[in-house]
Amino acid sequence: MSSPFILSAAYKGSFASYESLPATPFPEFAFAGRSNVGKSSLINFLCNKKEMARTSSQPGKTQTFNFYTINEKFYWVDMPGYGFAKVAQSTRDKWKKEMETYLGKRGNTLPISG
């Protein structure tokens, strides 16, 4: 890994709903934004890994909360696209609800140290 900041990065798991998220020991940083803006591509770029986060030219690729363990110290959370993914309106509505719940309710854990 060539970044001086990202020393390790590994896929942790995918979770379909806020309720299904596990308790985690690390702080979490979520990547949110319009569908197809490049959230998953940015994660791969920052980690210098081509295919850790799955990407697509079609909006609507990321459909779950996808967790990546960074530096064994925190998580990055790749979220579904906000707004106009090419999926059913009911699915977009569900993602909106799940993401807003996540952003509003997910608790902080320990601060980063070391």
Ligand X SMILES: Nc1nc2c(ncn2[C@@H]2O[C@H](COP(=O)(O)OP(=O)(O)OP(=O)(O)O)[C@@H](O)[C@H]2O)c(=O)[nH]1
List residues near ligand X by CB under 6 A: 35-41, 55-57, 59-62, 80-81, 85
| Interaction of residue 62 with Mg ion, rule CB under 5 A | yes
Judged by DSSP in three states, 56 sits in coil
Amino acid in the structure at residue 97: K
Cα atoms in the 13 Å half-sphere on the side-chain side of 8: 8
Report the nearest approach of ligand X to the CB of residue 94 (Å): 14
Report the nearest approach of ligand X to the CB of residue 57 (Å): 4
E-strand spans in the chain?
9-15, 28-31, 65-70, 74-78
| Residue 59 binds which entry of ligand X, Mg ion, none, CB below 5-8 Å type-dependent | ligand X
Structure tokens at 40: 């998953």
| Interaction of residue 40 with Mg ion, rule CB under 5 A | yes
> Which residue's CB is nearer to Mg ion, number 25 or number 33?
33
